[in-house]
Amino acid sequence: MFKSKLPHIGTTIFTTMSALAAEHGALNLSQGFPNFAADPELLGLLGTFSANGFNQYAPMAGVKELRDQLSLKTKKLYGAYYDPETEITITSGATEAIFAAIAATISAGDEVIVFEPAYDSYLPAIELCGGTPIYITLHYPHFEIDWDLVKSKISPKTKMIIVNTPHNPTGSVFSEDDLTALAKIVADRDIYLVGDEVYEHIIFDGLLHHSLCINTVLKEKSFICGSFGKTFHITGWKIGYCLAPKQLSVEFRKIHQYLTFSTFTPAQYALAKYLENENNYLSIPDFYQRKRDVFLDSIAGSGFEYIPSKGSFFQNLTYRNITNANDAEYATHLTKTVGVASIPISVFYHQKLDQKVLRFCFAKDDETLQKAGGILSKL
Ligand SMILES: Cc1ncc(COP(=O)(O)O)c(C=O)c1O
Quote the pLDDT of residue 164: 98
Ligand 1 mean position, distance from CA 300 (Å): 30
Q: Which atom of ligand 1 sits closest to the CA of residue 119?
A: 1
Asked if residue 59 has a cis previous peptide bond (ω within 30° of 0), the answer is no
Q: Which domains does the chain have, with CATH numbers?
A: 13-31+283-376 (3.90.1150.10), 40-277 (3.40.640.10)
Cα 376 to middle of ligand 1, angstroms: 27
- State the distance from the centre of ligand 1 to the C-alpha of 353, rounded, in angstroms: 22
The β-bridge relationship of strands 88-91 and 240-243 is antiparallel
CA 54 to centroid of ligand 1, rounded, Å: 26
Q: What is the pLDDT of residue 156?
A: 98
- What pLDDT score does 11 carry? 82
For the CA atoms of 104, 110, 113, 117, the dihedral, rounded to the nearest 10 degrees, stands at 80
From the CB of 289, is ligand 1 less than 6 Å away? no
CA of 96 to the centre of ligand 1 (A): 9
CB 101 within 8 A of CB 242: yes
DSSP alpha helices (H): ranges in the chain?
A: 13-24, 40-51, 64-78, 93-105, 122-128, 147-153, 176-186, 216-219, 228-231, 246-259, 265-275, 279-282, 284-298, 327-333, 366-376
β-pairing verdict for 343-344 and 222-227:
unpaired
Ligand 1 atom nearest to 97, measured from its CA: 11
| Residue 166 near residue 145 (C-beta atoms within 8 A) | no
Residue closest via CA to ligand 1's atom 13 equals 32
Return the pLDDT at 14.
86
Could you tell me if the CB of 168 is within 6 A of ligand 1?
yes
- Cβ 235 under 6 angstroms from ligand 1: yes
Mean pLDDT, the chain cut into blocks of 10 residues (379 residues total)? 92 88 95 95 98 98 98 98 98 98 98 97 97 98 97 98 98 98 97 98 98 98 98 98 98 98 98 98 98 97 96 98 96 96 97 97 97 96
CB burial readout 179-210, b (16+ within 10 A) else e: bebbbebbeeeebbbbbbbbbbbbbbeeeebb
Q: How far apart are CA 82 and CA 70, in angstroms?
A: 9
Cα separation values, 154 from 92, 99, 163, 276, 363, Å: 32, 22, 15, 42, 37
What pLDDT is attached to residue 12?
A: 83
Question: For position 165, what pLDDT does the model report?
Answer: 98
Ligand 1 mean position to 62 CA, how many Å?
19
Give yes or no for residue 196 CB within 6 A of ligand 1.
yes
Q: Which atom of ligand 1 is nearest to the CA of 240?
A: 10
User: First and final CA of the chain: distance in angstroms?
Assistant: 50
